[in-house]
Structure 1
Amino acid sequence: MPRRLREGLERIANVLRSERWGALEKTPLNPTQAQILAFLFGRGDLGARVTAIAQHIGVSQPTATDSILSLEKKGLAARRPDPYDGRAVVVATTNAGRALAQQIAAHATVTDRALAALSALEQQELLRLLVKLIRNLQIEGAIAPQRMCVTCRYFRPHAYADAPAPHHCAYVNAALRADGLRLDCTEHNALSAEQQQAIWNSYVKGLAAHEAARPAPP
Protein backbone atom coordinates (compact mmCIF):
# COMPACT_ATOMS: atom_id res chain seq x y z
CA MET A 1 0.00 0.00 0.00
CA PRO A 2 2.69 2.63 0.80
CA ARG A 3 4.13 2.17 -2.69
CA ARG A 4 0.75 2.78 -4.34
CA LEU A 5 0.17 5.83 -2.17
CA ARG A 6 3.58 7.16 -3.15
CA GLU A 7 2.74 6.63 -6.83
CA GLY A 8 -0.44 8.63 -6.34
CA LEU A 9 1.43 11.43 -4.59
CA GLU A 10 4.00 11.49 -7.41
CA ARG A 11 1.22 12.01 -9.96
CA ILE A 12 -0.20 14.86 -7.91
CA ALA A 13 3.31 16.33 -7.52
CA ASN A 14 3.69 16.31 -11.31
CA VAL A 15 0.47 18.32 -11.67
CA LEU A 16 1.54 20.78 -8.97
CA ARG A 17 4.93 21.22 -10.63
CA SER A 18 3.29 21.92 -14.00
CA GLU A 19 0.88 24.39 -12.43
CA ARG A 20 3.74 26.18 -10.70
CA TRP A 21 5.43 26.74 -14.05
CA GLY A 22 2.12 27.98 -15.45
CA ALA A 23 1.70 30.47 -12.62
CA LEU A 24 5.19 31.82 -13.29
CA GLU A 25 4.89 32.26 -17.07
CA LYS A 26 4.27 36.00 -16.83
CA THR A 27 6.69 36.62 -13.96
CA PRO A 28 10.50 37.04 -13.91
CA LEU A 29 10.91 34.07 -11.55
CA ASN A 30 11.94 30.44 -11.84
CA PRO A 31 10.36 27.85 -9.46
CA THR A 32 13.15 28.04 -6.86
CA GLN A 33 12.97 31.83 -6.72
CA ALA A 34 9.18 31.62 -6.44
CA GLN A 35 9.43 29.16 -3.56
CA ILE A 36 11.83 31.44 -1.72
CA LEU A 37 9.62 34.46 -2.34
CA ALA A 38 6.57 32.59 -1.00
CA PHE A 39 8.55 31.42 2.03
CA LEU A 40 9.73 34.95 2.80
CA PHE A 41 6.25 36.36 2.27
CA GLY A 42 4.96 33.95 4.91
CA ARG A 43 7.61 35.23 7.36
CA GLY A 44 6.38 38.80 7.08
CA ASP A 45 8.60 41.52 8.49
CA LEU A 46 10.75 39.03 10.40
CA GLY A 47 12.29 37.61 7.23
CA ALA A 48 14.64 34.63 7.43
CA ARG A 49 18.33 33.82 7.33
CA VAL A 50 19.83 32.22 4.25
CA THR A 51 20.47 28.94 6.07
CA ALA A 52 16.82 28.70 7.12
CA ILE A 53 15.67 29.48 3.58
CA ALA A 54 17.89 26.78 2.08
CA GLN A 55 16.73 24.26 4.67
CA HIS A 56 13.05 24.98 4.13
CA ILE A 57 13.23 24.92 0.33
CA GLY A 58 15.43 21.83 0.31
CA VAL A 59 18.33 23.24 -1.68
CA SER A 60 22.01 23.83 -0.97
CA GLN A 61 23.03 27.12 0.62
CA PRO A 62 24.91 28.26 -2.54
CA THR A 63 21.77 27.62 -4.62
CA ALA A 64 19.65 29.57 -2.15
CA THR A 65 22.20 32.40 -2.12
CA ASP A 66 22.17 32.64 -5.94
CA SER A 67 18.37 32.76 -6.01
CA ILE A 68 18.24 35.36 -3.25
CA LEU A 69 20.73 37.54 -5.13
CA SER A 70 18.49 37.31 -8.18
CA LEU A 71 15.44 38.32 -6.12
CA GLU A 72 17.41 41.28 -4.75
CA LYS A 73 18.46 42.42 -8.22
CA LYS A 74 14.79 42.29 -9.27
CA GLY A 75 13.81 44.43 -6.30
CA LEU A 76 11.70 41.67 -4.75
CA ALA A 77 13.80 40.97 -1.64
CA ALA A 78 16.30 42.83 0.52
CA ARG A 79 18.71 42.06 3.34
CA ARG A 80 18.63 43.80 6.71
CA PRO A 81 19.94 43.24 10.24
CA ASP A 82 18.36 40.39 12.17
CA PRO A 83 16.09 42.01 14.82
CA TYR A 84 17.13 39.29 17.28
CA ASP A 85 20.86 39.27 16.51
CA GLY A 86 22.57 42.42 15.28
CA ARG A 87 25.55 40.39 14.06
CA ALA A 88 23.41 38.49 11.55
CA VAL A 89 21.27 39.49 8.58
CA VAL A 90 17.92 38.28 7.33
CA VAL A 91 16.25 38.41 3.94
CA ALA A 92 12.73 39.82 3.65
CA THR A 93 10.36 40.69 0.84
CA THR A 94 10.02 44.23 -0.45
CA ASN A 95 6.66 45.81 -1.29
CA ALA A 96 7.09 44.64 -4.88
CA GLY A 97 7.99 41.15 -3.65
CA ARG A 98 4.91 40.92 -1.47
CA ALA A 99 2.67 42.05 -4.32
CA LEU A 100 4.14 39.45 -6.68
CA ALA A 101 3.89 36.69 -4.05
CA GLN A 102 0.20 37.48 -3.60
CA GLN A 103 -0.33 37.50 -7.35
CA ILE A 104 1.24 34.06 -7.73
CA ALA A 105 -0.71 32.64 -4.76
CA ALA A 106 -3.99 33.87 -6.28
CA HIS A 107 -3.36 31.99 -9.53
CA ALA A 108 -6.31 29.59 -9.94
CA THR A 109 -5.37 26.01 -10.82
CA VAL A 110 -6.94 22.70 -11.74
CA THR A 111 -5.81 21.38 -8.36
CA ASP A 112 -7.81 24.11 -6.61
CA ARG A 113 -10.94 23.01 -8.47
CA ALA A 114 -10.26 19.33 -7.80
CA LEU A 115 -9.88 20.01 -4.07
CA ALA A 116 -13.01 22.18 -4.04
CA ALA A 117 -14.92 19.25 -5.54
CA LEU A 118 -14.27 17.24 -2.37
CA SER A 119 -16.91 17.45 0.33
CA ALA A 120 -16.20 19.51 3.44
CA LEU A 121 -15.70 16.31 5.42
CA GLU A 122 -13.30 14.92 2.80
CA GLN A 123 -11.28 18.14 2.81
CA GLN A 124 -11.08 18.03 6.59
CA GLU A 125 -9.92 14.41 6.53
CA LEU A 126 -7.34 15.15 3.84
CA LEU A 127 -5.96 18.03 5.91
CA ARG A 128 -5.68 15.75 8.92
CA LEU A 129 -3.76 13.16 6.89
CA LEU A 130 -1.48 15.83 5.41
CA VAL A 131 -0.65 17.12 8.89
CA LYS A 132 0.26 13.60 9.95
CA LEU A 133 2.30 12.90 6.81
CA ILE A 134 4.22 16.18 7.09
CA ARG A 135 4.98 15.48 10.75
CA ASN A 136 6.26 11.99 9.89
CA LEU A 137 8.50 13.42 7.18
CA GLN A 138 9.74 16.04 9.62
CA ILE A 139 10.61 13.35 12.19
CA GLU A 140 12.50 11.46 9.47
CA GLY A 141 14.49 14.60 8.71
CA ALA A 142 13.21 14.68 5.12
CA ILE A 143 11.86 18.21 5.42
CA ALA A 144 12.66 21.19 7.60
CA PRO A 145 10.56 21.81 10.73
CA GLN A 146 7.24 23.29 9.71
CA ARG A 147 5.30 25.95 11.59
CA MET A 148 2.23 23.77 12.13
CA CYS A 149 -0.36 24.13 14.87
CA VAL A 150 0.39 20.62 16.14
CA THR A 151 3.99 21.59 16.99
CA CYS A 152 3.20 24.95 18.60
CA ARG A 153 3.18 25.80 22.30
CA TYR A 154 -0.08 27.73 21.84
CA PHE A 155 -1.98 24.69 20.53
CA ARG A 156 -4.44 22.93 22.85
CA PRO A 157 -5.78 19.81 21.09
CA HIS A 158 -9.38 18.75 21.77
CA ALA A 159 -9.91 21.38 24.44
CA TYR A 160 -13.66 21.34 23.76
CA ALA A 161 -15.20 17.86 23.58
CA ASP A 162 -17.72 17.28 20.77
CA ALA A 163 -17.63 20.94 19.71
CA PRO A 164 -17.65 22.20 16.09
CA ALA A 165 -14.32 23.88 16.91
CA PRO A 166 -12.64 21.33 19.22
CA HIS A 167 -9.13 22.82 19.51
CA HIS A 168 -7.89 26.02 21.13
CA CYS A 169 -5.17 28.52 20.18
CA ALA A 170 -3.79 30.24 23.25
CA TYR A 171 -2.11 32.91 21.11
CA VAL A 172 -5.42 34.37 19.89
CA ASN A 173 -7.40 32.83 22.77
CA ALA A 174 -9.93 31.32 20.39
CA ALA A 175 -11.34 27.94 19.44
CA LEU A 176 -10.05 26.26 16.27
CA ARG A 177 -12.03 24.12 13.88
CA ALA A 178 -10.44 20.87 12.72
CA ASP A 179 -10.21 22.33 9.21
CA GLY A 180 -8.63 25.50 10.61
CA LEU A 181 -5.32 23.90 11.59
CA ARG A 182 -2.45 25.68 9.87
CA LEU A 183 0.50 24.12 8.11
CA ASP A 184 2.46 27.38 8.26
CA CYS A 185 1.59 29.98 10.90
CA THR A 186 3.47 33.26 11.37
CA GLU A 187 2.79 33.18 15.14
CA HIS A 188 4.20 29.67 15.54
CA ASN A 189 6.27 29.14 18.69
CA ALA A 190 8.08 25.81 18.53
CA LEU A 191 8.13 23.29 21.34
CA SER A 192 10.94 20.92 22.25
CA ALA A 193 10.83 17.47 20.65
CA GLU A 194 9.52 15.95 23.88
CA GLN A 195 6.80 18.59 24.24
CA GLN A 196 5.82 18.20 20.60
CA GLN A 197 5.42 14.47 21.10
CA ALA A 198 3.21 15.02 24.15
CA ILE A 199 0.97 17.45 22.24
CA TRP A 200 0.87 15.10 19.27
CA ASN A 201 -0.11 12.13 21.47
CA SER A 202 -2.95 14.18 22.92
CA TYR A 203 -4.06 15.25 19.43
CA VAL A 204 -4.06 11.68 18.09
CA LYS A 205 -5.80 10.32 21.20
CA GLY A 206 -8.57 12.85 20.74
CA LEU A 207 -8.95 11.91 17.09
CA ALA A 208 -9.25 8.24 18.02
CA ALA A 209 -11.93 9.04 20.60
CA HIS A 210 -13.84 11.11 18.05
CA GLU A 211 -13.69 8.31 15.48
CA ALA A 212 -14.88 5.76 18.04
CA ALA A 213 -17.88 7.95 18.90
CA ARG A 214 -18.86 8.53 15.27
CA PRO A 215 -22.03 6.62 14.28
CA ALA A 216 -21.44 3.64 11.99
CA PRO A 217 -22.48 4.24 8.36
CA PRO A 218 -25.82 2.67 7.39
Structure 2
Amino acid sequence: MSAIFDAISEPVARRVTAGLAKIGLVLRSRAWKGAGTAGVTPTQGHALALLRDAPDGMRLAGLAKLLGISAPTASDMINALVAKGLVAKQPGPDRRSINLMLTPEGEASADRTREWPDFLADAVDTLPAGEQAGLLRGLVRVIRALQVNGDIPVQRMCVSCRFFRPYVHDDPVNPHHCAYVDAPFGDRHLRLNCGEHQLADPVEQEEHWQRFIAPTDAQLPQTR
Protein backbone atom coordinates (compact mmCIF):
# COMPACT_ATOMS: atom_id res chain seq x y z
CA MET A 1 0.00 0.00 0.00
CA SER A 2 2.91 2.37 0.63
CA ALA A 3 3.50 2.40 -3.14
CA ILE A 4 0.45 4.69 -3.44
CA PHE A 5 2.13 7.32 -1.30
CA ASP A 6 5.43 6.82 -3.11
CA ALA A 7 3.62 7.71 -6.32
CA ILE A 8 1.76 10.78 -5.07
CA SER A 9 4.36 12.23 -2.67
CA GLU A 10 7.02 14.75 -3.57
CA PRO A 11 10.60 13.56 -2.97
CA VAL A 12 11.61 13.77 0.68
CA ALA A 13 14.37 16.25 -0.16
CA ARG A 14 11.80 18.66 -1.61
CA ARG A 15 9.55 18.38 1.42
CA VAL A 16 12.47 18.94 3.79
CA THR A 17 13.49 21.95 1.70
CA ALA A 18 9.96 23.34 1.90
CA GLY A 19 10.02 22.94 5.67
CA LEU A 20 13.38 24.68 5.97
CA ALA A 21 12.10 27.50 3.76
CA LYS A 22 9.13 28.03 6.08
CA ILE A 23 11.47 28.16 9.07
CA GLY A 24 13.71 30.58 7.18
CA LEU A 25 10.79 32.95 6.58
CA VAL A 26 9.95 32.98 10.28
CA LEU A 27 13.60 33.52 11.24
CA ARG A 28 13.88 36.51 8.89
CA SER A 29 10.65 37.96 10.24
CA ARG A 30 11.78 37.61 13.85
CA ALA A 31 15.24 38.98 12.97
CA TRP A 32 13.74 42.15 11.47
CA LYS A 33 11.51 42.61 14.51
CA GLY A 34 14.45 42.13 16.86
CA ALA A 35 16.67 44.33 14.75
CA GLY A 36 14.19 47.18 14.90
CA THR A 37 14.20 47.02 18.68
CA ALA A 38 17.99 46.80 18.86
CA GLY A 39 18.58 49.60 16.36
CA VAL A 40 20.57 47.45 13.94
CA THR A 41 19.79 45.56 10.74
CA PRO A 42 19.72 41.74 10.72
CA THR A 43 23.06 41.66 8.88
CA GLN A 44 24.58 44.03 11.42
CA GLY A 45 23.20 41.83 14.18
CA HIS A 46 24.79 38.79 12.55
CA ALA A 47 28.10 40.62 12.36
CA LEU A 48 27.90 41.50 16.05
CA ALA A 49 27.20 37.85 16.88
CA LEU A 50 30.22 36.69 14.86
CA LEU A 51 32.47 39.23 16.56
CA ARG A 52 31.06 38.12 19.93
CA ASP A 53 32.35 34.62 19.17
CA ALA A 54 35.80 35.99 18.26
CA PRO A 55 37.27 37.43 21.48
CA ASP A 56 40.54 38.28 19.71
CA GLY A 57 38.70 40.22 17.04
CA MET A 58 38.41 39.67 13.30
CA ARG A 59 39.72 41.15 10.09
CA LEU A 60 37.21 42.82 7.77
CA ALA A 61 37.86 40.32 4.97
CA GLY A 62 37.22 37.38 7.28
CA LEU A 63 33.99 38.87 8.56
CA ALA A 64 32.78 39.64 5.04
CA LYS A 65 33.50 36.07 3.98
CA LEU A 66 31.50 34.60 6.87
CA LEU A 67 28.60 36.94 6.14
CA GLY A 68 28.68 36.19 2.43
CA ILE A 69 28.91 39.86 1.43
CA SER A 70 31.47 41.91 -0.50
CA ALA A 71 34.31 43.71 1.24
CA PRO A 72 32.93 47.19 0.33
CA THR A 73 29.49 46.25 1.71
CA ALA A 74 31.09 44.90 4.87
CA SER A 75 33.17 48.09 5.20
CA ASP A 76 30.05 50.28 5.01
CA MET A 77 28.30 48.09 7.57
CA ILE A 78 31.25 48.22 9.99
CA ASN A 79 31.50 52.01 9.62
CA ALA A 80 27.83 52.23 10.62
CA LEU A 81 28.44 50.01 13.66
CA VAL A 82 31.49 52.08 14.61
CA ALA A 83 29.36 55.23 14.39
CA LYS A 84 26.83 53.60 16.73
CA GLY A 85 29.60 52.85 19.22
CA LEU A 86 29.17 49.06 18.90
CA VAL A 87 32.43 48.19 17.12
CA ALA A 88 35.95 49.55 17.49
CA LYS A 89 38.77 49.42 14.96
CA GLN A 90 42.15 48.50 16.39
CA PRO A 91 45.58 48.01 14.79
CA GLY A 92 46.08 44.52 13.42
CA PRO A 93 49.18 42.34 13.41
CA ASP A 94 50.72 44.40 10.59
CA ARG A 95 50.66 48.10 9.74
CA ARG A 96 48.00 47.93 7.07
CA SER A 97 45.60 45.59 8.85
CA ILE A 98 42.71 46.55 11.11
CA ASN A 99 41.25 44.32 13.78
CA LEU A 100 37.55 44.65 14.54
CA MET A 101 36.49 44.35 18.17
CA LEU A 102 33.20 44.79 19.99
CA THR A 103 32.87 47.63 22.45
CA PRO A 104 31.12 46.91 25.78
CA GLU A 105 27.94 48.32 24.20
CA GLY A 106 28.50 46.07 21.20
CA GLU A 107 28.84 43.01 23.43
CA ALA A 108 25.54 43.84 25.11
CA SER A 109 23.87 44.31 21.71
CA ALA A 110 25.36 41.03 20.43
CA ASP A 111 23.94 39.22 23.44
CA ARG A 112 20.52 40.59 22.59
CA THR A 113 20.76 39.41 18.98
CA ARG A 114 21.34 35.87 20.25
CA GLU A 115 17.84 35.97 21.69
CA TRP A 116 16.20 36.45 18.28
CA PRO A 117 16.04 32.71 17.39
CA ASP A 118 15.19 31.54 20.92
CA PHE A 119 11.68 30.64 19.80
CA LEU A 120 13.16 28.11 17.36
CA ALA A 121 15.54 26.73 20.00
CA ASP A 122 12.52 26.13 22.23
CA ALA A 123 10.83 24.20 19.41
CA VAL A 124 13.93 22.07 18.77
CA ASP A 125 14.15 21.39 22.49
CA THR A 126 10.85 19.51 22.27
CA LEU A 127 12.73 16.74 20.41
CA PRO A 128 14.34 13.88 22.35
CA ALA A 129 18.09 14.27 22.86
CA GLY A 130 18.91 11.62 20.26
CA GLU A 131 16.77 13.32 17.61
CA GLN A 132 18.38 16.68 18.39
CA ALA A 133 21.85 15.20 17.88
CA GLY A 134 20.71 13.52 14.66
CA LEU A 135 19.24 16.79 13.39
CA LEU A 136 22.50 18.61 14.16
CA ARG A 137 24.52 15.97 12.34
CA GLY A 138 22.19 16.22 9.35
CA LEU A 139 22.49 20.00 9.29
CA VAL A 140 26.28 19.70 9.32
CA ARG A 141 26.10 17.49 6.23
CA VAL A 142 23.72 19.86 4.43
CA ILE A 143 25.81 22.93 5.27
CA ARG A 144 28.98 21.26 4.05
CA ALA A 145 27.30 20.29 0.77
CA LEU A 146 26.26 23.92 0.29
CA GLN A 147 29.82 25.02 1.02
CA VAL A 148 31.32 22.56 -1.46
CA ASN A 149 28.91 23.83 -4.12
CA GLY A 150 29.87 27.43 -3.34
CA ASP A 151 26.33 28.37 -2.30
CA ILE A 152 27.37 29.66 1.14
CA PRO A 153 30.69 30.80 2.62
CA VAL A 154 32.82 28.31 4.54
CA GLN A 155 31.68 28.06 8.14
CA ARG A 156 33.91 27.35 11.13
CA MET A 157 32.55 23.85 11.71
CA CYS A 158 34.21 20.93 13.46
CA VAL A 159 34.23 18.82 10.31
CA SER A 160 36.53 21.24 8.45
CA CYS A 161 38.88 21.88 11.37
CA ARG A 162 42.39 20.52 11.60
CA PHE A 163 41.75 19.54 15.22
CA PHE A 164 38.81 17.24 14.34
CA ARG A 165 39.36 13.50 14.73
CA PRO A 166 36.19 11.52 13.82
CA TYR A 167 35.54 8.07 15.26
CA VAL A 168 38.78 7.53 17.13
CA HIS A 169 37.20 6.50 20.45
CA ASP A 170 35.51 3.20 21.23
CA ASP A 171 32.61 5.05 22.82
CA PRO A 172 29.09 5.13 21.34
CA VAL A 173 28.33 8.45 23.03
CA ASN A 174 31.60 10.35 22.45
CA PRO A 175 33.37 8.74 19.48
CA HIS A 176 35.14 11.86 18.13
CA HIS A 177 38.12 13.79 19.46
CA CYS A 178 39.06 17.47 19.51
CA ALA A 179 42.84 17.84 19.47
CA TYR A 180 42.57 21.51 20.49
CA VAL A 181 41.18 20.72 23.94
CA ASP A 182 42.40 17.09 23.82
CA ALA A 183 39.01 15.64 24.76
CA PRO A 184 36.42 13.27 23.26
CA PHE A 185 33.01 14.48 22.12
CA GLY A 186 29.88 13.27 20.34
CA ASP A 187 27.58 14.39 17.55
CA ARG A 188 25.57 16.44 20.05
CA HIS A 189 28.68 18.59 20.60
CA LEU A 190 29.33 19.37 16.91
CA ARG A 191 29.87 23.10 16.38
CA LEU A 192 28.75 25.18 13.44
CA ASN A 193 30.81 28.22 14.44
CA CYS A 194 33.83 27.63 16.64
CA GLY A 195 36.11 30.48 17.71
CA GLU A 196 39.11 28.14 17.84
CA HIS A 197 38.50 26.73 14.35
CA GLN A 198 41.54 26.34 12.11
CA LEU A 199 40.86 25.18 8.57
CA ALA A 200 42.42 21.83 7.73
CA ASP A 201 44.15 21.36 4.39
CA PRO A 202 41.89 19.94 1.63
CA VAL A 203 43.34 16.43 1.74
CA GLU A 204 42.94 16.16 5.51
CA GLN A 205 39.44 17.63 5.32
CA GLU A 206 38.31 15.06 2.79
CA GLU A 207 39.88 12.19 4.72
CA HIS A 208 38.16 13.22 7.95
CA TRP A 209 34.88 13.90 6.15
CA GLN A 210 34.76 10.44 4.58
CA ARG A 211 35.51 8.91 7.95
CA PHE A 212 32.76 11.01 9.54
CA ILE A 213 29.98 10.20 7.06
CA ALA A 214 30.83 6.56 6.40
CA PRO A 215 32.84 5.06 9.26
CA THR A 216 33.98 1.48 8.80
CA ASP A 217 32.94 -1.24 11.21
CA ALA A 218 36.32 -0.89 12.89
CA GLN A 219 35.81 2.85 13.33
CA LEU A 220 32.28 2.66 14.66
CA PRO A 221 32.10 2.79 18.47
CA GLN A 222 31.28 -0.58 19.93
CA THR A 223 28.60 -0.97 22.58
CA ARG A 224 29.88 -2.41 25.81
- CA RMSD, aligned part only? 2.2
Query: In structure 1, what is the equivalent of residue 162 of structure 2?
Result: 153
* Alignment partner of 2:124 out of 94, 112, 115: 115
Q: In the TM superposition, what is the alpha-carbon distance from 1:212 to its structure 2 partner? A: 11
User: 1:66 and 1:101, CA in 2 relative to 1: closer, same or farther beyond 3 A?
Assistant: same
Once residues 80 and 221 of structure 2 are traced to their aligned partners in structure 1, the CA distance between those partners, rounded to angstroms, is 53
Q: Is the 8 A contact 1:165 1:177 kept in 2?
A: yes
1:28 partner amino acid: G
Once residues 183 and 102 of structure 1 are traced to their aligned partners in structure 2, the CA distance between those partners, rounded to angstroms, is 18
Q: 1:79 and 2:73 equivalent?
A: no
Gaps of 5+ in 1: none
Q: In the TM superposition, what is the alpha-carbon distance from 1:213 to its structure 2 partner? A: 8.1
Q: In the TM superposition, what is the alpha-carbon distance from 1:110 to its structure 2 partner? A: 2.5
Once residues 6 and 128 of structure 1 are traced to their aligned partners in structure 2, the CA distance between those partners, rounded to angstroms, is 16
Q: In the TM superposition, what is the alpha-carbon distance from 1:209 to its structure 2 partner? A: 7.7
2:69 partner amino acid: V
Gaps of 5+ in 2: 1-10
TM-score, length basis structure 2: 0.86
* Alignment partner of 1:21 out of 32, 35, 38: 32
34-43 vs 20-29, greater mean Cα deviation: 20-29
Map Cα deviations across residues 94-144 of structure 1 (whole Å, 9 max, x no partner): 121112111221356331221111111110110000100111111111111
Query: In structure 1, what is the equivalent of residue 193 of structure 2?
Result: 184
User: 1:212 and 1:90, CA in 2 relative to 1: closer, same or farther beyond 3 A?
Assistant: closer
Query: In structure 2, what is the equivalent of residue 7 of structure 1?
Result: 18
The 4+ residue runs of structure 1 with deviation greater than 3 A are 106-109, 207-214
Q: In the TM superposition, what is the alpha-carbon distance from 1:205 to its structure 2 partner? A: 2.2
Query: In structure 1, what is the equivalent of residue 135 of structure 2?
Result: 126
> Residue 24 of structure 1 aligns to a residue in which SS?
helix
Q: Is the 8 A contact 2:166 2:175 kept in 1?
A: yes
Query: In structure 1, what is the equivalent of residue 46 of structure 2?
Result: 35
Q: Is the 8 A contact 2:48 2:106 kept in 1?
A: yes
Query: In structure 2, what is the equivalent of residue 53 of structure 1?
Result: 63
* Alignment partner of 1:165 out of 167, 174, 179: 174
Map Cα deviations across residues 162-194 of structure 1 (whole Å, 9 max, x no partner): 332111111111111220011111111111111
TM-score, length basis structure 1: 0.88
Map Cα deviations across residues 60-116 of structure 1 (whole Å, 9 max, x no partner): 322211211110011110111223x33211222112111211122135633122111
2:15 partner amino acid: R
Q: Is the 8 A contact 1:48 1:91 kept in 2?
A: yes
Once residues 16 and 125 of structure 1 are traced to their aligned partners in structure 2, the CA distance between those partners, rounded to angstroms, is 22
Once residues 84 and 217 of structure 2 are traced to their aligned partners in structure 1, the CA distance between those partners, rounded to angstroms, is 50
Aligned pairs, how many? 212
> Residue 175 of structure 1 aligns to a residue in which SS?
strand
Q: Is the 8 A contact 2:172 2:222 kept in 1?
A: no
Q: Is the 8 A contact 1:19 1:109 kept in 2?
A: no
User: 1:102 and 1:166, CA in 2 relative to 1: closer, same or farther beyond 3 A?
Assistant: same
Query: In structure 2, what is the equivalent of residue 63 of structure 1?
Result: 73
Q: Is the 8 A contact 2:27 2:117 kept in 1?
A: no
Once residues 179 and 59 of structure 1 are traced to their aligned partners in structure 2, the CA distance between those partners, rounded to angstroms, is 30
Once residues 212 and 75 of structure 1 are traced to their aligned partners in structure 2, the CA distance between those partners, rounded to angstroms, is 50
Query: In structure 1, what is the equivalent of residue 3 of structure 2?
Result: none
Once residues 38 and 121 of structure 1 are traced to their aligned partners in structure 2, the CA distance between those partners, rounded to angstroms, is 28
* Alignment partner of 1:102 out of 103, 111, 127: 111
